[in-house]
Amino acid sequence: MKVSHVISLFIAVALISVSFYFFFGKADMNQLKIADSSVKTSATQTNKQQIPTVFIHGWKGSERSFRTMFQRLQTNYDGPERAIVITVEPNGVIKSSGKITNQKIPLIQVIFASNHESMEQQADWLKNVFLVLKRDYGLKQVNVVSHSMGGKAFTCYLEQIKDPSDYPSIKKYVAIAAPFDWINGPLNDKDYTLEALKRESYLFQHRSRLPQNLNVLAIAGEMRNAVEGDGVVSCQSAFFGQYFFNRAHYQEKTVYGPNAQHSMLHENPQVDQLIAKFLWSIHPK
């Protein structure tokens, strides 16, 4: 009799255990699958984020140089948004604020506190900037937009880095009114032959160090004619990069009219459109 009760009790416990497994065990497995699915969805959304774009101002530039361009890009296009501001102190120390979160197209602004230094000095500072972007922000690849002397400094940086793996690789580069043929400051193109400019150009002489897969868009301003260009940089100077960037990945665009003046180019909506199309394949809303 006692044995019969024990057997019955054992069977009851076994049935209850099986029931718990079917009803609650399966529920737990379903919950795990849902959680896993949400993680994948989140990862997919993250993958839709475009690589960040770094903006470098010109000689005597400041935070104001690209401020209104950022505002226009964020207002008139779907995606671009300033995420990080990096300031380079005169001693080369890097100070940064902001972070990349859910911005569709994160923008990074670089500001030189001492904004009138040589090409070589700014190139050296850019090593610190891009090292921080790789080491502290984990960025493996970026685009770059520069204005004026910022273009010479950035190109010099590319030629000076010894181990590219220490820095983010550059996918696309937009050079706005970069005086690529200047030697020791502003010059009159008519005073030099093309061969003389190449011979005296640090950037041309070290062009073999440039990445051959870099996609480049050079933008020039032309208010009245190509010789005057944007009033500061001639079209020949802005397009002198054709002699050291890989021509297979290089293109040129000219912006015309009064708003093509040197300091107005980063205030010009036409330049916004060229940047947005080339870097991100997007158009105004």
10-residue averages of pLDDT along the chain (285 residues): 43 42 36 27 51 96 95 97 97 95 97 95 97 97 98 98 96 98 83 93 97 98 96 97 98 98 97 98 96
In b/e form, how buried is each residue of 93-130, taking b as 16+ CB within 10 angstroms? ebebeeebeebebbbbbbbbeebebebebbbbbbbebb
The pLDDT assigned to 235 comes to 97
Are 78 and 282 a contacting pair, CB within 8 Å? yes
Q: What are phi and psi of 57, to 5 degrees?
A: -80, 175
* CA-only gyration radius of the chain, Å: 28
Question: CA–CA separation, 25 vs 139, rounded Å?
Answer: 42
What is the C-alpha to C-alpha distance for residues 171 and 140, in angstroms, rounded to an integer?
10
Helices (H) then strands (E): counts for the chain = 9, 8
pTM for the model: 0.83
DSSP 183: S
| Cα–Cα dist 145/154, whole Å | 9
- Judging by DSSP bridges, how do beta strands 215-222 and 169-176 pair with one another? parallel
User: Helix or strand or coil: residue 121?
Assistant: helix
Tell the residue number behind the tokens 């972007």, with chain if given.
133
Q: Tokens 């005073």 — which residue? A: 191
Contacts of 71 (CB under 8 A, 6+ apart): none
b vs e for 205-221, b when ≥16 Cβ sit within 10 Å of the residue's Cβ?
Answer: eebeebeeebbbbbbbb
Joined tokens for residue 166: 């220490």
267 φ, ψ to 5°?
-110, 5
- The sign of the CA dihedral 259, 264, 266, 269 is negative
- What is the DSSP code (8-state) at residue 88? E
| Amino acid, res. 50 | Q
Neighbours of 203 (CB within 10 A): 25
- Structure tokens of 273? 């459109």
CA distance 130 to 123: 11
User: What is the model's pLDDT at position 115?
Assistant: 93
Strand partners, 255: 221
